[in-house]
Amino acid sequence: MKRNDFHVAVMPGDGIGVEVMDAAIAVLEAAEKRHGIAVSRELVAGGALHYREHGVAMTESAFDRAAKVDAILFGAMGWPEIRYPDGTEIAPQLDLRFRLELYAGVRPIRAIPGVPVALASPRAKDIDLVILRESTEGMFASRGKGVMVDDSEARDTQVITRATTERLTRFAFRLAARRKAKRGTPGRVTLVDKANVFLSFAFMRKVFHETAREFPQLEARHHYVDAMALDLVRRPWDFDVLPMENLFGDILSDLGAGLIGGMGFAPSADVGDRHALFQPSHGSAPDIAGQGIANPTAMILSTAMMLEWLGERHGSNAAIEAAADIEKAVDAVFAAGRVRTFDAGGRDGTAATARAVIEALGA
Ligand code: ATP
């Protein structure tokens, strides 16, 4: 069944989450008009400020709504001074990942033409990789379950399962195959681990290579996480799809964002077999919130990822084309120097950046 109409939950959240969401929705509306798709939206509250006012970060009925819609568009949640009584941050996005089984954290690290990058090498413009952060287990399986021993010792335990490693591996290879077909990338999947030291990572590597045999037309490799930190700075253009454990993905995706101009340029998606959530890689950025200077590019590109995912899932070429068009429009405004955001040393704020992308869309 082909569908061009979708229903999504919109969760702006806290801080600049609200600001970049407004910008992305304006771009989405323009893309809808241009491509004949309809994305109806349902506002769902949640976040740190919601916790302060109502005593709960996200209500059960909000979780229910999130489970029923076609996709979730998410800004950012969390605020430094607002914490749970045990001192941990308000992060309902982590609960959404666990509850909706959003195991694949897709974080594209792509150099946008015209955006200043961190590396001087002329090859830096070729950076186009995806960090695939497993998002339901690893070290984060211990979240909320850490053990204190007499105020003298603390323990968190890592969990790696065969089932999740197999589905993450299949996701990685299917992604690498799609990228190869669409963008001419090499079709190379590199597991990032620490298999030389920990049993859990040796197991993860074994299951990865066993599962990789299902994809003989693609390359399967592995790399130690410490060497990967070095090589992401030394030769990031050599990598394609990089599946890894949750905490490694948390850390290396920030490093990746740093390579391509910062958090404001790094989109992401948390994808499961039935649900998906799309959000920028950045947080609520309290230091710049409320000033209208946040860079909305990551949120706009995350919205494009949502359209692509919806299009592929429901057989809507119009949604897939809308996604490609948004990405092209973003590239065009930066390549032409029409926009320079504050985080890239310019003076174009959130709304101005969205306006330029909408103009480039020709809507
Ligand atoms: P979290 O823990 O929720 O990931 P954080 O507080 O570690 O969040 P961010 O909110 O991502 O980190 O912000 C990190 C830095 O990057 C801040 O200095 C912030 O101002 C900057 N930053 C993040 N997103 C943007 C953006 N969209 N535009 C401009 N600067 C940004």
pLDDT score at 87: 87
Hunting for tokens 């070095």 — which residue is that?
230
- Ligand 1 atom nearest the C-alpha of 78 is 3
pLDDT band at 363 (very low <50, low <70, confident <90, very high): low
Q: CB of 207 closer than 6 A to ligand 1?
A: no
Average of pLDDT values for 308-334? 97
Task: Tell me if 285 CB under 6 Å of ligand 1.
Answer: yes
Longest Cα separation, the chain: 64
Average pLDDT over residues 281-290: 96
The reported pLDDT for the residue numbered 11 is 98
pLDDT grade for 362, boundaries at 50, 70 and 90: confident
Give distance in angstroms: CA of 161 to centre of ligand 1. 32
Contact in structure between 242 and 106 (CB atoms under 8 Å): no
Please give the pLDDT value at position 143.
87
Strand partners, 279: 268
Calculate how far, in angstroms, residue 341's C-alpha sits from the geometric centre of ligand 1.
Answer: 14
Pairing of strands 188-193, 241-244: parallel
pLDDT of residue 47: 97
Domains of the chain plus CATH, in order, are 1-102+266-363 (3.40.718.10), 118-259 (3.40.718.10)
Which of 263, 340, 348 is the best mutation target for the ligand 1 pocket, counting ligand atoms within 8 Å of the beta carbon and taking the most?
263
Q: How far apart are CA 64 and CA 158, in angstroms?
A: 29
Q: What separation in Å is there between the alpha carbon of 294 and the centre of ligand 1?
A: 9
Q: Which residue has the tokens 């603390």?
A: 154
> Mean pLDDT, to the nearest integer, of 262-268?
97
Q: pLDDT of 95-131, one tens digit each?
A: 999 899 999 999 999 999 999 999 999 999 999 999 9
CA gap 125, 179 in Å, rounded: 17
Whole-number pLDDT of residue 88: 87
Q: Could you tell me the two tokens for 60?
A: 């059960």
Length of the chain: 363
> What is the pLDDT of the chain when averaged over all its residues?
96
The residue assigned the tokens 């792509």 is 110
- Indicate if ligand 1 lies below 6 Å from the C-beta of 294: yes
**Confidence band, pLDDT 50/70/90 cuts, at residue 86:** confident
Distance 280 CA to ligand 1 centre (A): 10
Q: List the structure tokens of 166.
A: 């197999």
Q: Residue 248's beta-bridge partner residues? A: none
Residue type at position 52: R
Q: Which pLDDT value is given to residue 2?
A: 66
Q: Give nearest CA residue, ligand 1 atom 21.
A: 285
| Residue 144: pLDDT band with limits 50, 70, 90 | confident
Q: What is the mean pLDDT of residues 1-29?
A: 94
Question: pLDDT value at position 81?
Answer: 94
Angle at which helices 60-68 and 92-99 cross, to 10°: 50
**CA–centroid distance, residue 118 to ligand 1 (Å):** 17
Q: Tell me phi and psi for residue 106, to 5 degrees.
A: -95, 115
